[in-house]
């Protein structure tokens, strides 16, 4: 992907999965996204605007710990902020359904096998 700009979410998703190859990174994202959603729900239930301000910090803190200390890569949100947000919720939903680990293993296996592996 280096050098070429991703222009659709369909193109972005395999890249996003590759940037979350370790289960610990995905778990940290899950914790952060859960915290973000909980803070938004609390802000709706209690008129406390600071909870809305804290919500993105929950998501980014845990995600960035995963990228910088577990995955050892640069978060995709720096280059593709909208696609990354969509990807986070896509991954979050797949994790709730119990499908993300097998999906990631399959995608990462396909990428490491290369384009000629299907022949």
Residue 46 neighbours by CB distance under 10 Å = 9
| Domain spans in the chain, listed from the N-terminal domain onward | 23-107
Burial of 109 (0-12, 13-18, 19+ CB in 10 A): exposed
pLDDT tens column, 37-85: 999 999 999 988 899 999 999 999 999 999 999 999 999 999 999 999 9
- Nearest of 31, 32, 54 to residue 43 by alpha carbon: 54
Residue 113 pLDDT class (50, 70, 90 cuts): low
pLDDT tens column, 11-41: 999 999 999 999 999 999 999 999 999 999 9
């Amino acid at each position: 992907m280096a050098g070429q700009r991703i222009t659709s979410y369909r193109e972005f998703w395999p890249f996003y999965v590759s940037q979350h190859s370790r289960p610990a990174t995905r778990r940290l994202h899950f914790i952060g996204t859960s915290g973000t959603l909980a803070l938004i729900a609390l802000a709706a239930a209690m008129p406390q605007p600071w909870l809305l301000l804290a919500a993105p910090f929950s998501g980014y803190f845990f995600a960035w710990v995963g990228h910088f200390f577990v995955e050892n890569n640069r978060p995709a949100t720096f280059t593709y902020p909208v696609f990354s947000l969509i990807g986070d919720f896509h991954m979050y939903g797949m994790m709730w359904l119990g499908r993300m680990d097998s999906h990631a293993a399959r995608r990462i296996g396909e990428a490491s096998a290369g384009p000629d592996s299907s022949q």
